[in-house]
Amino acid sequence: MMMGWFLKPGSEIRLAVMAGMLGVAVAGGCGDKSAPQTAAAAGGAMPVQTQVIQTKQIPETSEFLSVLKSRHSSVINPQVEGQIVKIFAKSGDHVKAGEPLLQIDPLKQEATVSSQEAARAAQEANKRFAQISLERAKKLFDAGVISKQDYDNAQTTYDAADAQLRALDEQVRTQKVELKYYQVSAPMDGIVGDIPVRVGDRVSVSTLLTTVDEPGALEAYIYVPVNRSKDLKLGLPVRLLDENQKTLADTSVTFLSPQVDTDTQTVLAKALVANSSTKLRIAQQVRAQITWNTSTSAVVPVLSVVRINGQSFAFVASKESNGTFARQRLLKIGEPIGNDYPVLSGVQGGEHLITSGAEFLQDGMPVAEQAPADGGAKQPSTH
């Protein structure tokens, strides 16, 4: 009443209006965030959505580089030396067994075969003459005209001519077989690989001409660092992945090398790949995911985990004798699997994980559990 004496007429109304506006501004600045806290401070339980923590089989895996190779692949090298004069096939062609691939200049070998055949023909004539001489000597010996020694000489001459003819027969046969090597043919049905040589190149028996790969089953060559080799064993599950982590095939370890590669310090493991749909290609590089073992672990959605100072926390709704309260738990988590974290310690399967409003919670705050809007255990989206 005393202050009223110093106020001008109408000042009381203006002060009341300003006070009201200030109150509205303060309430508006706090927004919705103050509502749960105010309700909690006033003794009410904060409504939160929860879901029961599930347990899953969590695999322990590692990924390694792998190269796919054909189980039926032939490396084609020439069996003779010479100059390539013709190439019949090209890379990617499907060929049948025996189909010609390349031709090496056969002229020199053909000349050798012709020379050997001529020598054989001459020796055939010598054998016929020796046979005629032997037959004549036999008749003269039977008539007592020549001595036994003369007859034996005729027999020896014939035997030598016959042996020489048989030797020339073998030489001609050998040279003809070698002549066939000048035409390089496919050893089996398959697909022609890269042909690094060209017409005019001179090749030797160590020159790579091409490869022929039989389509179908492949083997994944997996190079495992030696520090993990002690865990390798036959039958371990293997999943082949592309660069986008998409599954290409599921298989298992079928072979383990007893030796360590001295250059790369890796151990070779192989896994059979059926490849019935021929989606995979020979020499294709893929990622091989080996599953060492599996363990049962609780899992929690990624979005329900809060990171504070490098540590992971989550809230669970704990039913206690005097009500339900939010309890903050320190979690030890593994690498994320899809939208979930495997939990190594901190929570257990069956507990009620708080999936909404964690930013408003404090440890020990009373909460009221509510079902998700769809009535199910809603998984938080990662998008």
**CATH topology match: 42-57+296-370 vs 106-181:** no
Of the two residues 167 and 43, the one the predictor is more confident about is 167
For residue 24, what are the contacts with CB-CB under 8 A and spacing of at least 6?
A: none
Residue bearing tokens 């190269």: 67
For the 63-72+214-295 domain, the top CATH level (class) is mainly beta
Task: Name the pLDDT band for 361 (thresholds 50, 70, 90).
Answer: confident
Considering the chain, what is the average pLDDT of its residues?
Answer: 84
Mean pLDDT of the region 54-73: 86
Q: Check pLDDT > 80 for residue 12.
A: no
Instruction: Determine the CATH number of domain 42-57+296-370.
Output: 2.40.420.20
CA distances from 132 to 119, 156, 169 (A): 20, 13, 21
Given a cut of 90, is residue 202 above it in pLDDT? yes
pLDDT of residue 277: 64
Weakest mean pLDDT among 19-33, 108-122, 251-265, 297-311: 19-33
CB-based contact 278:284 (threshold 8 Å): no
Q: Does residue 33 surpass a pLDDT of 80?
A: no
Average pLDDT over residues 211-216: 82
Burial classification of residue 4, based on how many CB atoms lie within 10 Å of its CB (0-12 exposed, 13-18 middle, 19 or more buried) = exposed
Which CATH number is 106-181 given? 1.10.287
At 205, the pLDDT band (50, 70, 90 cuts) reads very high
Please say if the pLDDT value at position 1 is more than 60: no
pLDDT in tens, 231-270: 999 999 999 998 888 888 899 999 999 999 988 899 999 9
Chain centre to alpha carbon of residue 18: 74
Mean pLDDT of 286-307: 90
Kindly state the average pLDDT of the residues 118-130.
95
Task: Please check whether the domain covering 75-104+188-213 is classified as CATH 2.40.50.100.
Answer: yes
- φ/ψ of 119, rounded to 5, equals -65, -35
Instruction: Tell me the domain boundaries of the chain.
Output: 42-57+296-370, 63-72+214-295, 75-104+188-213, 106-181
Phi, psi for residue 351 in degrees, rounded to 5: -70, 160
Average pLDDT over residues 192-217: 90
Q: What is the mean pLDDT of residues 172-181?
A: 93
> Residue 378 corresponds to which tokens in the numbers above?
């809603």
pLDDT top residue among 34 and 124: 124
Are 286 and 240 in contact by the 8 Å Cβ rule? The answer is yes
For residue 29, pLDDT beyond 90: no
pLDDT at residue number 25: 38
At residue 180, φ and ψ (nearest 5 deg) are -65, -30
Record the pTM.
Answer: 0.53
Classified as helix, coil or strand, 64 is strand
